[in-house]
Amino acid sequence: MTTAFPLLRLPYLVLMPVLEQMEFLDRIALSILSKRTRKYVKLLKMKSKNVKLKWNSNRIEMIVFCDFTIVLEANMYIDEYQQSFFMNRYKPVYSWRDSSLLPADYVLSIMDVVHCKSIDKFIIVRISEHDCIPIVAKLPKIDQVVVEHIPSDSYYSYEAIFHKEKKLLKVLRTVFPVSSAVTISSRFQNHNHLREILKGNFDAVILNHFNKLITLNDLWITNAKILELYYGTINVRDLNRYFKLWMKKICNDRLEYLKMGIYDKKTVDLLLDGLNAVPVPIETQREFRVLGNVKQLCSHERIIFEFDITRVDGRTATIRISNYGNVIFYVWPESTNLKPNLVPNQTSLISPFSNSCIEHLERLFLSFLLVCESFFLFYSTNFNWNPDCDVLSICLSLLIVFLVCCFLNLLL
């Protein structure tokens, strides 16, 4: 019979070198045993690049990355057996059953050890039949929630899909307060369920699959900074009305970026009707930044029309139309108001200077004509001038007047 080695009874100066010699997976397994072991393992200052969670039916999968390399994979079951498996690509599997701890407890413990403050992605693949609200309620800050799949009506009845959507919505309501972005890759059968997501106070809402026409009411209730509706379309008149509401500052003041498709591709004039849009040359080089990142077009997508509109408070926005029929709406930051985002090139530097020179020459010429007319009127009425008099003196007088006008104009 072997006796257990009293590892934690070692002096601190001896214990830490021992923990440093342990493999990564062994350290994680040790940290989960108790709060005391977690405290010592945390002192090793292991740092992760990001943490990803995937909820697939009755299993929660946790993946920990360090420098884009998977260093830990954990499968935690939320069924009646409550088993957990910890592994990585090259090491053996640690498995145990502890019904007193929820999978979220393991997630929080591991994130604390690897000094990770938020979950990079929380991916929902399938909804479990077990009650998972106590689990997801413990999750920390989530950078992005991704809903991958809900079974289509070809396999389930409408009632069954409606029930699954309600359970999904209940989970989303729980994690939304700690999430800043949501990506939906599933088609919602019930339109009201989708509207609850659109009303969320997110930084970004992305709908990858949308099989119904977006209405003006759907856009009216949105409150996200970024709204991307792929495969979702809208009537041109509704989109035109939405832009008019934005210009009056009575809808989604937080909006910074909108991208969606046009259902009725009649004319650009219908989209811009009543917006007082100013055309922008396509070759104008501008950098569109959203949440700190530069927004790029998809491959083979190019802009064919670009216009600027202005809100009642002076805020500027750009409407771009691509060859794919997508409308891209970008709101410029208040501090820059479009001008600092212009990429300086030869054309943009010469154009303001040439325009300024032309304006000054026009002012000088008009002023000179006015002065000449006044001078001739004064000279002819007071000195009885006629064409036979000395032309040289008159020309010199006009030259002096012209130089005086130039000097006064430069001062103004």
Residue identified by tokens 């009575």 is: 250
The pLDDT of residue 172? 86
- Residue 16's alpha-carbon distances to 21, 41, 60, 109, in angstroms, are 9, 9, 32, 19
CA end-to-end distance (rounded Å), the chain: 102
Q: What is the DSSP letter of 140?
A: -
Q: Which candidate, 252, 253, 187, places its Cα nearest to that of 216? A: 252
Distance (Å, whole) CA 165 – CA 157: 12
Distance (Å, whole) CA 262 – CA 245: 18
Tell me if residue 261 falls in helix, strand or coil. Answer: strand
Paired strand residues for 55: 60, 124
The pLDDT of residue 266? 62
pLDDT tens per residue across all 412 residues of the chain: 567 788 888 888 899 999 999 888 888 888 888 889 999 999 998 888 789 999 888 888 888 887 767 788 888 887 666 666 766 655 666 676 666 677 888 888 889 998 888 999 999 888 777 777 888 888 889 999 998 865 554 566 777 777 788 888 888 888 888 898 999 887 777 778 888 888 888 889 988 866 567 788 888 888 899 998 876 678 888 899 999 999 999 888 889 999 988 766 567 888 999 999 999 998 788 888 877 677 777 778 888 899 999 999 999 999 998 888 889 999 998 755 544 333 333 333 334 444 445 455 555 554 555 555 555 545 554 555 554 445 556 656 666 666 666 655 555 5
Phi first, then psi: give them for residue 308, nearest 5 degrees. -110, 140
The pLDDT of residue 370? 53
Yes or no: say if 272 and 321 are a contact pair by the CB < 8 Å rule: no
The pLDDT of residue 367? 56
The pLDDT of residue 241? 93
The pLDDT of residue 200? 81
Tell me if residue 154 falls in helix, strand or coil. Answer: coil
Distance (Å, whole) CA 161 – CA 155: 9
For helices 103-113 and 24-31, the axis angle rounded to 10 degrees is: 120
Write the DSSP string, 292-350.
Answer: TEE--PPTT--EEEEEEEE-TTS-EEEEEEETTSEEEEEEPPTTTTTGGGBPP-HHHHH
- Amino acid identity at 167: K
Task: Write b or e for each residue in 300-327: b if 16 or more Cβ atoms lie within 10 A of its Cβ, otherwise e.
Answer: eeeeebbbbbbeeeebbbbbbbbeeebb
The pLDDT of residue 306? 92
Distance (Å, whole) CA 175 – CA 180: 10
Q: Report domain extents, the chain.
A: 46-341, 346-411
From its phi and psi, is residue 45 left (phi > 0), alpha (psi between -120 and 50) or beta?
Answer: left
